[in-house]
Amino acid sequence: MIHHSGHVEVICGSMFCGKTEELIRRVRRAVIARQTVQVFKPNIDVRYELDSVVTHTGQKIGAQPVRASDDIISQLNPDTTVVAIDEIQFLDSSVVGVIEQLANRGLRIIVAGLDLDFRAEPFGAMPALLAIAEEVTKLRAICVVCGEHACRSQRLVNGQPARYDDPIILVGAKESYEARCRQHHIVPGSPHGAD
């Protein structure tokens, strides 16, 4: 199926909110609709499998790892009508232009990623992607401290909250992160008072 107009769908939220599950659900529905789909992911995401997008609960779908956003263009098949990209926050800022180019060519673009880093600050190209998207879905997890809705990703180092000046990118899962609400998200050394 060829789309008559391209568009961008962004799925965002904290760790453990179901972003990848939602991306996989949309991809599977596109496949059922006999659309030609390609799935991409940053090659630094090696938590589960290099050539698959995998949820924390074990759902998976095949994916092509890319080093940089330009690799999406070079690896794109001519008959592809739907492009899905997981963990988009790990790609370079040029990904915004790549996505605009593909959507302008009539492709449906589905991306998923963290909107905030562990400091609770906008992550990578996500603010620009949220601005250009025709559709935004913001999911929330459950705070491990109080059970309320979680909108933050709490990074832990040896069981303690990571400091504000720790490196931004640390690919991990339950061994390094927890979902937390605003009240229980702690970042020692934050200029925003989240400690």
Structural domains of the chain, ranges and CATH numbers in brackets: 7-140 (3.40.50.300)
Rounded distance between C-alpha atoms, residue 187 and residue 166, angstroms: 10
Q: pLDDT tens across 93-138, in order? A: 999 999 999 999 999 999 999 999 999 999 999 999 999 999 999 9
What's this model's pTM, rounded to 2 decimal places?
A: 0.92
Q: Is 165 exposed, middle or buried (0-12, 13-18, 19+ CB in 10 A)?
A: exposed
Amino acid at 151: C
With a cut of 50, which residues of the chain have pLDDT below it?
Answer: 1
Q: Catalytic site residues?
A: 87
Cα dist. 127→9, 87, 115, 137, 146 in Å?
13, 14, 7, 13, 28
Do 29 and 131 form a contact (C-beta atoms < 8 A)? no
Q: pLDDT tens across 136-148, in order? A: 999 999 999 999 9
Do 178 and 154 form a contact (C-beta atoms < 8 A)? yes
pLDDT at 167: 86
